[in-house]
Amino acid sequence: MRAFDSWLEGSTALALRRAVRTTLRAAWWWLPGLILVSLLLLRMVPDLQQWRIAEVRLSECGLQPQARAQQLPMFIRGVGCMLLKAEHDLAGQDLQDRALLLSGVGRDVRIWINGVQVRQFDPNPHFDSTTIPLLQPLHSSTLLNGSNEILLQLRSGSGLFDRSFVGALLVGPNELLQSVHRRSIRIGAEGAQLSIVVALAIVLMALPIAWSRPGDSSYRWFVLAVLSSQIYVWNMAWPLRPAPTLLWHLLAHGGLAIALWSISRYSLRVAGRTDEGNRRLDQVALVGLAGLLLAVFDTSGGNPALVGDVVFRISLLAQLLMLANFWWHRRDNALARWMACAAMLCLWLGITDSLRVFGILSPPLSPYVLHWGILYVLGVLLVSQLRHMLAALATAERSQERLSEALDQRSRQLQREFTLRQQAEQAQALAEERQRIMRDMHDGVGGQLVALIGQVEAGKLDVGLLKPQLRRSLDDLRLMIDSLDDACADLSVALGMLRQRLQPSLKGLPLEVHWQTAHLPDLAPCPPEVVLQVLRIVQESITNAIKHARCHRLAICADWADGWLKLSISDDGVGLPANAPPGRGLPGMRQRAAGISAELQISALQPGTRIELRLRLGRA
């Protein structure tokens, strides 16, 4: 159509060149069809003119047959009997090894030669439209050396579409006619056999797809249709099988109709024209189905098989036209081009075949070639399916490669990000830890040293106080170091460490110290700041008790129950003076406790004081 458009625009030469180029480029889809048709034509047309019957006379037997007088083929329609009289001149010819070859459609065939009946033949008593391929060897005694009279009687059925016809009636050398007869049958059989092989290949390929798509019925229909289409050609593939039955004929034509229907649906689907196309297609299919049912329940005495034949051909024509339409709209689609090519061939074969079956047009002894067209349709489907599958595979592989590459890239990126993030987090943790340690130093040792320097500078240094103050700084430094030891993340171990640290300085005092910390279970690890603050609070409580309370007994108890660690430091000293300003260090202790979300309680005993620290803490 592009060529046509260009021509309309005026540049004819360019349009022609483009049309030629386009056609040549598309040769891969029309060339196989051309080759197939050429092969068929070459094999189909034997030069049998010299064996034609010299004269044909038609006699009435019932209704008036329509025929071109004196010429084969001829056919009769409706209830009727054809009596055909032919003369054949055998003057000067060898009478040995002659044979008669008859092709046509009809039943109750009778042949007389020179008044002698040589054959009575009924292909199928219930089925009178079977194509007759008949080869009758003739005895030399029945033939005359001169003009011979051949009388042929043929009956047709009584239905609306019933007809009988004679396509060829030949007398000739037995050997030659036999070879023509065999070839005619073989061409049909080969086409049918090839068609079956291709159909099986398609089914084998389509089955896994049909299975892998449980929600999509189109492929299953497709498989069913391709299989059922082969019922039709099965009998032609092996012509020596018994004559077909009525049921077989119905099945075959129905199956083929379904095949065409589903294949058309499939190609419409592929072309993306599902809605409108399928609606029309379904209408055609319904008409075909109605026709088939009509044929089955036809009580007019007609031939149901013939009705099936007619319905099938109508549906074939309709669907091939639809394929052509499909191609018209999707010329750029490779499958559409294939299908159009196949449709054209099928159409041509189907029309010539139909014309032959209905006796309008027929070369003598032409084999039944419609299934060669079907073979081409199936071949197109096979190739397109293969291409489709290969393309899908390649796409899948490509996308898998792309995916895995993307995955690699992403995981590398994630790895990089993770490393960066980890480094950043580590750096941040490190910075926070440094800051914490600096703060602790500032609060503890640093502050104490600054205070001492202040005292020295002010000249108020009490040498007696210097040693305990320095000792306190060193102890605090050791607490900090202990709290950083990961073994001390378990508070029960940290308390053990504290006890050991304090032991030497407590040893020399007139004081009874009870440690009840050994029965603690293993505790969940605590961050160093919590450990440090707990240790500081305990240490400060002990120091306060010794320094200010003038106690004789000191008890440090630790208990753990229901997710709470309870630490208490009790003394029997003078206690906190009532209404006195808070003792030294007590606000600091409260602050420390609040900093680690612990509860600090100070209660008076009789006598003495108890400091209790409660901290939410799990077990290890």
Partner 1 sequence: MASVLVVEDEPRTRDRLAGIITAHPRLRLLAHAGSLAEARAVIAGDLPDVVLLDLGLPDGNGLSLLEELRTRGRDIGVLVISVLGDEGSVLHAIERGAGGYLLKDASDADVVAAIDQLLAGGAPLSPSIAVHLMRRLQLPPPDAQRQLEANVGLNQRELDLLKLIAKGLSYDEVGQLMGLRYNTITSYAKELYRKLQVHSRAEAVYEAQQLGLVGRP
Residues forming the site for partner 1 (CB under 8 A): 474, 477-478, 481-482, 485, 487-488, 490, 492-493, 495-500, 503-504, 515, 517-520
Cβ closer to partner 1: 355 or 474? 474
Q: How far apart are CA 476 and CA 145, in angstroms?
A: 145
User: Minimum CB separation from partner 1 for residue 496, in Å?
Assistant: 3
Cβ closer to partner 1: 8 or 481? 481
User: Minimum CB separation from partner 1 for residue 487, in Å?
Assistant: 4
Cβ closer to partner 1: 36 or 523? 523
User: Minimum CB separation from partner 1 for residue 440, in Å?
Assistant: 14
Both structure tokens of 169: 């009636």
The residue behind tokens 């000792």 is 471
Instruction: Assess contact for 570 and 555: CB atoms under 8 A.
Output: yes
Burial of 107 per CB tally in 10 Å (0-12, 13-18, 19+) = buried
Q: How far apart are CA 53 and CA 71, in angstroms?
A: 9
User: Minimum CB separation from partner 1 for residue 500, in Å?
Assistant: 5
Instruction: Assess contact for 154 and 164: CB atoms under 8 A.
Output: yes
Half-sphere exposure of 229 (CA within 13 A, CB side): 33
> Could you count the other beta carbons within 10 Å of the beta carbon of residue 261?
23
Cβ closer to partner 1: 499 or 590? 499
Sheet holding 80-89, edge to edge: 55-59, 80-89, 147-156, 107-113, 116-121
- Cα–Cα nearest to 386, from 426, 334, 308: 334
Q: How far apart are CA 342 and CA 30, in angstroms?
A: 8
Cβ closer to partner 1: 480 or 549? 480
Q: Residue 57: enclosing H or E segment and its boundaries?
A: strand 55-59
User: Minimum CB separation from partner 1 for residue 615, in Å?
Assistant: 17
Instruction: Assess contact for 199 and 230: CB atoms under 8 A.
Output: yes
Cβ closer to partner 1: 410 or 519? 519
Helix (H, G, I), strand (E, B) or coil at 124: coil
User: Minimum CB separation from partner 1 for residue 514, in Å?
Assistant: 11
User: Minimum CB separation from partner 1 for residue 508, in Å?
Assistant: 9
User: Minimum CB separation from partner 1 for residue 601, in Å?
Assistant: 24
- Cα–Cα nearest to 176, from 73, 91, 51, 40: 51
Cβ closer to partner 1: 129 or 492? 492
Cβ closer to partner 1: 518 or 605? 518
Q: How far apart are CA 568 and CA 559, in angstroms?
A: 9
User: Minimum CB separation from partner 1 for residue 518, in Å?
Assistant: 4
Cβ closer to partner 1: 396 or 487? 487
Q: Residue 415: enclosing H or E segment and its boundaries?
A: helix 370-441
User: Minimum CB separation from partner 1 for residue 426, in Å?
Assistant: 20
User: Minimum CB separation from partner 1 for residue 520, in Å?
Assistant: 6
Q: How far apart are CA 352 and CA 358, in angstroms?
A: 10
- Alpha-helical (H) ranges within 213-273 are 218-237, 246-271
User: Minimum CB separation from partner 1 for residue 519, in Å?
Assistant: 8
Q: What 8-state DSSP symbol labels residue 578? A: T
Instruction: Assess contact for 331 and 337: CB atoms under 8 A.
Output: yes
Both structure tokens of 29: 């889809």
Instruction: Assess contact for 140 and 123: CB atoms under 8 A.
Output: no
Cβ closer to partner 1: 14 or 481? 481
Cβ closer to partner 1: 177 or 537? 537
218 backbone dihedrals φ, ψ, rounded to 5°:
-65, -35
Cβ closer to partner 1: 53 or 497? 497
- Cα–Cα nearest to 594, from 499, 502, 542, 530: 530
Both structure tokens of 618: 């799990």
